[in-house]
């Protein structure tokens, strides 16, 4: 995740001061999420001077929400790693961090004499679906829950069952609003995990299997997780990790999963009216819940790029990460994109719109794509 050079050592190389002095640029980077941090550390390492801006007072971007999800506590360590790398580069005079600073198009124009190119890694905004009544105070976004730590009631409806919807559901069944802190990477109890999933570490029982201990993590809430699409919820989750997300929610006994849902409205009492299915078999339900959490996808934050069009900055603003492509949030993709652009941004043919670089398909990837057709 953190090292995009892994398995690409013959293709990518990040060496200190590798860029010739006459090719070195002064680069402004907006956003300290995965893409912004990866670009900044790589560009500064190879010789460019980077000024890193973020309106938040802490680095990390989406990592600061993801690290709160059970099973993703290692993202605390990812942020720690980048914090160390950025501080080291700052001490060497290769990089300057300006946290708590929001950058506008006017700011970019006013600093045009000090910055040669801009890299915008501003991330995404939550997509707000057109459902009547979403302005009700019982309705929250996933950002309210994961970043702002807004208290959530005991009965919850989640709109959207992509990666973020599953993450929020898992967070809510485990998280106690009275907890004094978020778990870090070394705090989850391995022994409790083995007991919960029926693993005998002593191999005293046949096959190393034991009776699962259902008392380890009793669900903190009752949840209804919904999606518009027909079919199995979570079908688009990662091939290697999706099964554990689905299994965790199913095992809790606290999560009802419903597909083929039409969201009709949120009424004055904060209840969600839905229709399940279509035609003669359609069923209407009213979900009497304490909160509704919207996890209906993301929209790229492209404002700075749009405002630059038709100005002197038009060929100097590059989007990366979620700002370039929202989709399902993918830190690995964002870090890879940031790193690869940092290695090439000084080249003459690298211009906005022609700045996404990726490795060619290896034989393993080609074989995987063929096998996918039969699954």
375 residues of the chain, pLDDT tens digit each: 788 888 888 889 999 999 999 999 999 999 999 999 999 999 999 999 999 999 999 999 999 999 999 888 999 999 999 999 999 999 999 999 999 999 999 999 999 889 999 999 999 999 999 999 999 999 999 999 999 999 999 999 999 999 999 999 999 999 887 776 777 878 888 888 888 888 988 888 888 888 888 777 789 999 999 999 998 898 888 777 888 889 889 989 999 999 999 999 999 999 999 999 998 889 999 999 999 999 999 999 999 999 999 999 999 999 999 999 987 558 888 999 999 999 999 999 999 999 988 776 666 667 777 777 776
* pLDDT at residue 16 in the model: 96
Q: Which residues fall within 8 angstroms of residue 260, CB to CB, at 6 or more apart?
A: 228, 229, 230, 276, 277, 278
Q: What is the DSSP string of 261-310?
A: EEEEEE-TTSPEEEEESSGGG-EEEEE--SEEEE---EEE--HHHHHHTT
User: Nearest-CA neighbor of 53 among 70, 67, 39?
Assistant: 39
Integer Cα distance of 331 and 295 in angstroms: 18
272-276 and 139-141: which strand pairing? unpaired
In degrees, rounded to 5, the angle at the alpha carbon of residue 233 between the alpha carbons of residues 231 and 236 is: 95
Any idea what DSSP says for residue 185? Answer: T
Residue 301 near residue 322 (C-beta atoms within 8 A): yes
3-state secondary structure of 91: helix
3-state secondary structure of 99: strand
DSSP-assigned beta bridge partners for residue 265: 273
* pLDDT at residue 190 in the model: 86
Q: Which residue has the tokens 């001077």?
A: 49
Burial label for 240, CB within 10 Å (0-12, 13-18, 19+), is exposed
Q: Which residues fall within 8 angstroms of residue 206, CB to CB, at 6 or more apart?
A: none
The token pair at 106 is 């006017």
3-state secondary structure of 223: strand
In degrees, rounded to 5, the angle at the alpha carbon of residue 199 between the alpha carbons of residues 195 and 204 is: 110
Residue 3 near residue 9 (C-beta atoms within 8 A): no
Residue 82 near residue 59 (C-beta atoms within 8 A): yes
Integer Cα distance of 199 and 359 in angstroms: 39
């Amino acid at each position: 995740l953190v090292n995009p050079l892994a398995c690409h050592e013959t293709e990518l190389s990040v060496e200190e001061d590798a860029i010739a002095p006459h090719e070195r640029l002064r680069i402004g980077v907006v956003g300290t999420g995965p893409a912004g941090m990866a670009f900044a550390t790589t560009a500064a390492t190879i010789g460019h001077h980077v000024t890193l801006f973020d309106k938040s007072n802490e680095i990390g971007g989406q990592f600061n929400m993801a690290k709160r999800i059970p099973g993703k506590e290692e993202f605390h360590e990812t942020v720690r790693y980048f914090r160390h790398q950025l501080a080291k580069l700052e001490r060497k005079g290769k990089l300057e961090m300006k946290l708590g600073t929001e950058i506008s198009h006017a700011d970019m124009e006013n600093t045009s004499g000090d910055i040669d190119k801009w890299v915008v890694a501003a991330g995404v905004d939550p997509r707000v679906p057109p459902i009547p009544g979403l302005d009700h105070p019982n309705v929250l976004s996933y950002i309210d829950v994961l970043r702002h730590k807004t208290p959530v009631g005991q009965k919850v409806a989640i709109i959207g069952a992509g990666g973020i919807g599953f993450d929020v559901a898992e967070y809510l069944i485990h998280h106690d609003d009275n907890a004094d802190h978020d778990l870090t990477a070394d705090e989850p109890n391995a022994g409790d995990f083995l007991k919960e999933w029926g693993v005998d570490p002593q191999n005293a029982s046949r096959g190393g299997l034991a009776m699962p201990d259902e008392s380890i993590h009793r669900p903190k809430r009752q949840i209804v997780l919904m999606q518009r699409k027909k079919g199995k919820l979570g079908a688009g989750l990662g091939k290697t990790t999706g099964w554990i997300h689905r299994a965790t929610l199913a095992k809790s006994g606290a999560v009802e999963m419903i597909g083929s849902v039409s969201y009709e409205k949120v009424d004055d009492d904060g209840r969600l009216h839905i229709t399940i299915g279509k035609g003669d078999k359609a069923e209407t339900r009213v979900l009497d819940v304490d909160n509704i959490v919207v996890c209906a996808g993301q929209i790229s934050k492209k404002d700075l790029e749009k405002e630059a069009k038709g100005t002197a900055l038009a060929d100097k603003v590059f989007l990366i990460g979620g700002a370039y492509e929202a989709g399902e949030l993918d830190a690995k993709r964002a870090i890879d994109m940031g790193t690869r652009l940092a290695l090439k941004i000084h080249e003459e043919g690298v211009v906005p719109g022609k700045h996404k670089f990726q490795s060619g398909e290896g034989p393993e990837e080609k074989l995987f794509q063929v096998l996918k057709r039969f699954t």
